[in-house]
Structure 1
Amino acid sequence: MARLFVVLTALAVVFSVLAFQNGNVPIGILFALVAAGPLVFLISVAVRARKVPAPAGRPAPESGPGPLSNRNRKLAVRLIAVAVVAAVGYGGYWVLFAPKAGNAAVSRVSDLEDGCAGIRKYFPDNDAYTGPGPHPVAVFTTSDSDSLDLASMGADVPPQWDDVRLDPRRVQVIACLDAPGDGPYLTDCKFTSDTLKLIQGTYDVTLYEAKTGEEIGTAQLLGSSQPGCPSLTLTKSGADSIHTEPDFAAYRAALGKYVDN
């Protein structure tokens, strides 16, 4: 049990340091308290034991249960162990999956791509997603080569969709497209070294608030149904197909209620 406490306490210390480094002060304080809990308990037990008076005419025992009975002591140890395990478990989730505050300067919309990365980040200095629209958006796609790319909405789109002229700090919504799924087969595309099937892409989208990383909503959309082959493409090794991407009309139809309204 003692070794387990040492290991869990050490993990709580690590999680506390990581939380403070990522600017999450409440979580850092929580793990600091968790790390201190077992030590405070042991000190309390030791102090109580030293205060136990010796019976008349007998030498004081080297150690004793003190005012805290053995049963209560075991119960307290178990409760502390459960609390520490739960906190460390949450810490593992927080380290591996919870979004972290982005520390790097944001000067372009493409700098927000970490909002869709494996360990997502949020951007505390960005505008909040609140009130009526428009809510400026940055859309990132996962390509056939598994790269994360800023989606281009084209020319003459409303300001809240304009990835070229949009101030990145005004972005309120980050939309993340998963890797494309397979829709209908469209045509074969011949390239210099290979021929690839062109498939209409299907996309699952998750939208997050840029400022907090909180999920706003989800959507699905389709890539273009037109059998137009690109002049150049990148794919994963061994791939035999590529996927069409959505156009602006598809993005707006699927995401407009989060962006325009």
Structure 2
Amino acid sequence: MRKAVVDWLALLGVWIMVLAVPVVVLGGLGVLVWSVLDDDEGLQELSDLHRLCGKNHEGFGEAAPYGGGGPHPLVLFAGGTDLPAHATDGQNGKPTPKDVQLVACASRPARASDRVSESCTYVGGETDSSGFGGSVTIDQYPGKVDVTVYEARTGRPVDEFRLSGPDKLKCESAVLEGTKSHDVITVPSTSDYVPRLEEYVTENAKP
């Protein structure tokens, strides 16, 4: 597995480690975010738990059993989260891979509606056939992400829920030169994921 370069941040008093493809880990008092690089057959790294998000949702027999009262350490594999650029120091470390009881898998963001919620138009971006500056339009669509929570040891689905992105975002004041017209999907932020996943960490185990 390639070595990951990480930055430690903290959000709401919990640990966050950030890379390009985020993974959020909640374990009692902690949240951790990092990148998935490879799948290994054994449970050596937290990123190995990504196997449960595959087609067969194959669990790890060496993972901690899920049951009783919390905390139930949980790992979320999700892309497209709005991670913070700055945060204060946290006081909690990451769980070991075999301590994790739950794995949450988020789908790729998709349109929640075919309705354009906002159009942002900029002058002077693309050029028309005569070579003069034209306009660029960026259409926004409200997005959605489906999250399924699995038991790490067995791969059994425990629960599922849906998160919605904002209806629309404020148009940027400018875009980079050369930008072409395109569509964007709004996505849930990290602050949307955390309270929903904390329920699974802190509450009694679901049957």
Q: TM-score range by the shorter chain?
A: 0.5 to 0.7
2:74 is aligned to: 137
1:182 is aligned to: 111
In the TM superposition, residue 113 of structure 1 has moved relative to its aligned partner by 1.1
2:141–2:184 Cα contact (<8 Å) kept: yes
If asked which structure has higher relative contact order (CA below 8 Å, sep 6+), I would say 2
1:121–1:213 Cα contact (<8 Å) kept: yes
1:171 is aligned to: 100
1:247 is aligned to: 189
Letter in 1 for 2:169: P
How many residues get paired? 140
Letter in 1 for 2:155: G
Cα displacement string for residues 47-81 of structure 1 (whole angstroms, at most 9, x for unaligned residues): xxxxxxxxxxxxxxxxxxxxxxxxxxxxxxxxxxx
- For the structure 1 residues 120 and 201, does the alpha-carbon distance in structure 2 shift closer, same or farther, using more than 3 Å as the test? same
1:222 is aligned to: 164
In the TM superposition, residue 141 of structure 1 has moved relative to its aligned partner by 2.5
- For the structure 1 residues 226 and 121, does the alpha-carbon distance in structure 2 shift closer, same or farther, using more than 3 Å as the test? same
1:189–1:198 Cα contact (<8 Å) kept: no
- Quote the Cα distance in structure 1 between the aligned partners of 2:162 and 2:138: 25
1:121 to 47, 58, 68: 58
- Quote the Cα distance in structure 2 between the aligned partners of 1:176 and 1:110: 12
2:47 to 97, 105, 110: 110
Letter in 2 for 1:210: A
- Quote the Cα distance in structure 2 between the aligned partners of 1:257 and 1:117: 24
Letter in 2 for 1:245: V
TM score, norm. by length of structure 1: 0.43
1:259 lines up with 2:196 in the alignment: no
1:180–1:201 Cα contact (<8 Å) kept: yes
- Normalized per residue, the structure richer in helix is 1
In the TM superposition, residue 116 of structure 1 has moved relative to its aligned partner by 0.6
CA RMSD of aligned residues (A): 3.7
Task: Show the 5 A alignment for 1:1-261.
Answer: 104-141=41-78, 165-183=94-112, 185-186=117-118, 188=120, 197-224=139-166, 227=169, 240-261=182-203
Greater CA radius of gyration, 1 or 2?
A: 1
List 4+ stretches of structure 1 deviating above 6 A.
Answer: 192-195
In the TM superposition, residue 251 of structure 1 has moved relative to its aligned partner by 1.2
- Quote the Cα distance in structure 1 between the aligned partners of 2:156 and 2:100: 14
- Normalized per residue, the structure richer in strand is 2
Letter in 2 for 1:216: V
Q: Identity of counterpart residues, as a percentage?
A: 28
2:117–2:167 Cα contact (<8 Å) kept: no
1:173–1:208 Cα contact (<8 Å) kept: yes
- Quote the Cα distance in structure 2 between the aligned partners of 1:187 and 1:157: 39
TM score, norm. by length of structure 2: 0.52
- Quote the Cα distance in structure 1 between the aligned partners of 2:82 and 2:97: 15
- For the structure 1 residues 177 and 253, does the alpha-carbon distance in structure 2 shift closer, same or farther, using more than 3 Å as the test? same
Structure 1 unmatched ranges of 5 or more: 1-101, 144-150, 231-239
